[in-house]
Structure 1
């Protein structure tokens, strides 16, 4: 369907390339540069500035050792018939990856939502066309990034919409295409750590449905990715909706007596631990590292909805961040905070939300 882009394969090179378990031991707290390289109209189209090396250094100075770089690719194809990626875009992404690697940060580069071509098309009728595009894009990405050392990891997708065994089987084929395409380019890519996403990146669904990992010519080089916004009404909901009301308070010691209808009805400490236990049992205990590629809970002090007990709300957010981070690390899960410019100011390289950064660092102790 598309031409092959694996036009310069190299002999495999394992020099300095760690296993997944060895690599996971080298980083701790991760940071997302969100709403930027995955933005639909280009890097700055969602209101963030161009990523600078000084910002990447600032993320590192702030206490983070890894970066997740959500990225669009199909949106930067300059010939739809051949799925050819604009070389200017490939070079720009390579430049940003270089900012991370050159400053000693581990970086995971993915194909993010990207218009939904993969994650909204996990079905038998779409399987062949999606696999063809997955192969074409990854052959180009992997070839362009091949010379980076083990600091660079690739991730197959973002939040693939799969919620049953039939869809999981289709998703597994997308992951297998990704692994095969990257490995075939050779060089360090033959041994690079690759990350595959659980269904919906939901820990429970991943436990239930993800029973095999892709076939991989390299051994012990795969990680699994899940996300955590539990409970959603507390973490990110910014208005009351049909399926739930906004929750302002979280944690056994942080329930409001003034606004009891804003306390959570599910998804507190025990639920977080239960999810982590499942992921640990299924993957980590078997030598397969797990990345929590996105997580976050955000303050409502500047929104149209101000909690009546604002101090208790802020304490709840702080507590969620620290608890969720600390317990992830205690279970061997590597957490990557989702930030779109709310906690660290990307224009001035200053801290905008010191409490959030302090809570993250407390969780990482």
Structure 2
């Protein structure tokens, strides 16, 4: 009796096991591409049971039944490609089907279509070497903490950039402006579609400088720190860079060679200031290549434009050791960018007691034991040997030293001001003499611990002596 019961129980459990096994599931396709206009497609489903299809996007609808599911894609009115995954389930078995939709062609103000790519156009792009063009940029000045401010142009305390300010900078003797920009003001954050009004404002500022015959070096700056050079983020960053630079490059495609694009800024893994791992610097090298490819693909004058790429964290040593020059279909149109803030305790550290610098320093307790004149000369000499002597210009995209006006006495303040002036005089001259392009970092804030040279409201000079040593031909 017990044996018969156990036998029946085993048959029952075996039947339940067979009934609970997941049905098979195969799809006729795992990915489909749609044009910007949208459309629908039927995808066959082979399964031994029933199935369901689900998607969370608002622009892609699915219906399932009769051995297939139908994908209905709405028109894409943005200029950026978009993607979504549809999940197909049959019991515990599941597969993902990817929908990829092209972006719409942007429409210009006159009603015409702006194509993604046009034939190369060399008009307005002078037949001069990048070395010659680079030397026409000397010296340069950064409009820092303005268009690169996340949250908007005035979010970090500076006023709106004006023609009056640019005119003052030009009159003071600067030949070029580095324009850091945070582009992630999106009309569609999922598609990385840059807001039209923000694009228009950046273009307005670019025109302030170009109409005064200055050069503009425009980049994607820190922008919230999304450019993390890790294996986990590399594909995401490269995709986002491609989408954003495509939009920027198309918008500014018709500008002449006084406008220069720079792909990134100080790319580094958050909080890691050490020597980069292969993971880190290989990721940054890939970002440079993505930038080059995206801009060149738009054609027109962008096929001939000078482009600037960065070493890891724009550190000179890391650039010497780990930088890889991107492949470029246009020969002899790449420049390399690094920054220089050595020694940190003198130039940027607001809490440091290091207030003297160089051969004339009198107090060892107030002076770093490294990064003196010889160090600066050697840093720039290495960049000259590695790049400039091989025909690749070098942009020293940022350098400077903060003001110290609260050191306890007027004498202490004056003492630091003397060494600050000498530092900027010596470093600027060394940058120039080694053939690099100096571009002073100005954050716009006056007073203690600032780096401002100009009043952003009036254009007046805060430090005429510093401006003089930077713009001097000596």
TM-score bracket, normalised by the shorter chain, equals over 0.9
- Structure 1 residue 16: Cα displacement: 3.4
| Higher-helix-fraction structure | 1
Aligned to 2:88: none
Structure 2 SS opposite 1:344: coil
Say whether 1:144 aligns with 2:251: yes
- The aligned residue for residue 175 of structure 1 is 288
Residue 96 of structure 1 is aligned with which of 159, 183, 205?
205
2:233 to 113, 121, 126: 126
* Aligned-residue offset at 1:358: 2.3
C-alpha contact 2:310 2:338 (8 A) present in aligned 1: yes
- The alpha carbon displacement at 1:304 in A equals 5.9
Do residues 268 (structure 1) and 372 (structure 2) align?
yes
Structure 1: distance between partners of 2:469 and 2:132: 27
Aligned-pair CA distance for 1:255 = 2.7
SS of alignment partner, residue 48 of structure 1: coil
Distance in 1 separating the partners of 2:233 and 2:207? 35
Q: Which has the larger radius of gyration?
A: 2
Q: In the alignment, what sits opposite 1:191?
A: 304
Contact 1:4–1:136, Cα closer than 8 Å, also in 2: no
CA deviation after TM superposition for structure 1 residue 104, in Å? 0.3
Please give the alpha-carbon distance, in whole angstroms, between the structure 2 residues aligned to 1:105 and 1:48: 22
Pair 1:78 & 2:182 matched: no
Instruction: With a CA cutoff of 8 Å and minimum separation of 6, indicate the structure with the bigger relative contact order.
Output: 1
Contact 1:344 1:353 (8 Å CA) reproduced: yes
CA gap of 1:158–1:56, structure 2 versus 1, over 3 A, is: same
Aligned ranges 1:1-365 → 2 under 5 Å = 2=82, 3-4=102-103, 7-17=115-125, 18-74=128-184, 76-118=185-227, 121-161=228-268, 163-210=276-323, 212-239=324-351, 245-256=352-363, 260-301=364-405, 303=406, 309-341=412-444, 342-362=452-472, 364-365=473-474
Aligned positions, number: 351
Match of 1:242 in 2: none
Partner of 2:429, secondary structure, is helix
Corresponding residue SS for 1:251: coil
Q: Over aligned residue pairs, what C-alpha RMSD do you find? A: 1.6
Instruction: Classify the secondary structure of the residue corresponding to 1:71.
Output: coil
CA distance in 2, matches of 1:237, 1:290: 26
Distance 1:5 1:37, change over 3 A: farther
Are the equivalent residues in 2 in contact too, given 1:203–1:279 (CA < 8 A)? yes
Could you give the per-residue CA deviations for residues 134-185 of structure 1, whole angstroms, max 9, x where no partner exists?
0000000010111110000000111011623332111111111111110111
Alignment check: 8 A CA contact 2:164 2:458 kept: no
Structure 1 residues 216-225 or 308-317, which shifts more?
308-317
Q: Contact (CA 8 Å) 1:161, 1:199: kept in 2 or not?
A: yes
Tell me how far 1:306 sits from its aligned partner: 5.7
Q: Distance in 2 between matches of 1:343 and 1:37?
A: 18
1:237-279: CA deviation from partner (whole Å, max 9, x where unpaired): 111xxxxx431000111232xxx32111211111111111111
TM-score by length of 2: 0.72
* Distance of aligned partners of 1:356 and 1:113 in 2 relative to their CA distance in 1, 3 Å threshold: same
Instruction: Check the 8 A contact 2:308/2:337 in 1, yes or no.
Output: yes
- Cα distance in 2 for partners of 1:272, 1:307 equals 29
Name the CA distance, whole Å, in 1 between partners of 2:418 and 2:361. Answer: 8
